[in-house]
Amino acid sequence: MTKLPTRALGPYTVSSIGLGCMNLNHAYGTPPSIEDAAALLNRALDLGITLLDTAALYGLGENERLIAGAVMHRRSEFTLTTKCVLDFVDGKRSLDGSPDAITRTVEGSLGRLGTDHVDLVYLHRLDKRVPVEESVGALVRLKEQGKIGAIGLSEMSAATIRRAHAVHPIAAVQSEYSPVVRNPEVAVLETCREIGAAFVAFSPVARGLLAGAVRQADYAAHDIRAAMPRFTEPNLAHNRRAVDAYDALAAHLGLTPAQLSLAWVLSRGAHVIPIPGTRSIAHLEEDVAAAHITLDPETLVQIDVIFAPGTIRGGRYAAAMQAQIDTETLPGEELA
């Protein structure tokens, strides 16, 4: 196994770049075969990735079953995180932050993963009907039972993070973060630094926008980007102009666009850990190489200029999904 630079994830030491496993079963059209997905997971471990991120929701549980079948025989080689609150009930997506639902979801995850312990469990979203203190309390009890090792939050604001942290130390906060999505810079990055939590950046290549993967809005069936305003017309054509300038900068530096984005995310702080997802082993190898890239200050300024505030048009999510997001918004940010 290759050795990568490491960063702290609560009580764990993990590779500075992890792997988001969602798209192996979920959200981006037809998934790869089980054999191809398993090969990618094992290649990730061979390359030195020691953080795998999944969730009960992904593939309606199939993502966790995939990990169980593909790499749990190598369990000592990686830190495993999953998520609750978002789950599936009778085959349908559900959001329930009540203690009973959290316990049921985590027990289901343990069963699908074929284990009695998972390293960290995130509250996948804030259920605004339930005080976050009650939701965290359910995870504290599971931790006391030895079923989970640490507690995290996903897509939550600094105020919510502090409320949760008052109940039990929060080991990690996960939110979308890339050169085109800067919401964590409002308050969450600094809050994580202050409380000693890792910040785990999902979609660090902007759902493929900064990886050469989105040229036009011709998405496959069941691709969530087809319902995301910034990925649909007329916004996409406008956004592509900034992305073209970004791609040219990456080429000038001798990097792939994804490598430039990942190196940028890594530069945001020693507590920041990007978790790109991919279905391609070649792209996985490119991503891992970004762990060794350091960007000079001039390049960081150029990226800020390309993606100046207001450059990207369209919300991150459609209205119904945005309603489940607790993160801070940017001045003038479009929310749909």
- Start-to-end Cα distance in the chain: 44
Given this model, what pLDDT does residue 332 score? Answer: 83
The pLDDT tens digits of the residues spanning 232-267 come to 999 999 999 999 999 999 999 999 999 999 999 999
- Considering only the top CATH level, what class is 6-322? alpha beta
Given this model, what pLDDT does residue 244 score? Answer: 97
Cis peptide before 234 (omega within 30 of 0): yes
pLDDT higher than 80, residue 1: no
The pLDDT tens digits of the residues spanning 81-101 come to 999 999 998 888 899 999 999
Confidence of residue 336 (pLDDT cuts 50, 70, 90): low
Single-letter code of the amino acid located at 199: F
Beta-bridged to residue 83, according to DSSP, are: 122
Q: In 3-state terms, what secondary structure has residue 35?
A: helix
Say if residues 178 and 206 touch (Cβ distance below 8 Å).
yes
Which one from 12, 58, 122, 317 is the annotated catalytic residue? 58
Is 219 annotated in the active site?
A: no
Q: Can you give the C-alpha Rg of the chain in angstroms?
A: 19
CA angle 256, 262, 264 (to 5 degrees): 105
CA angle 242, 223, 151 (to 5 degrees): 90
Annotated domain spans of the chain: 6-322
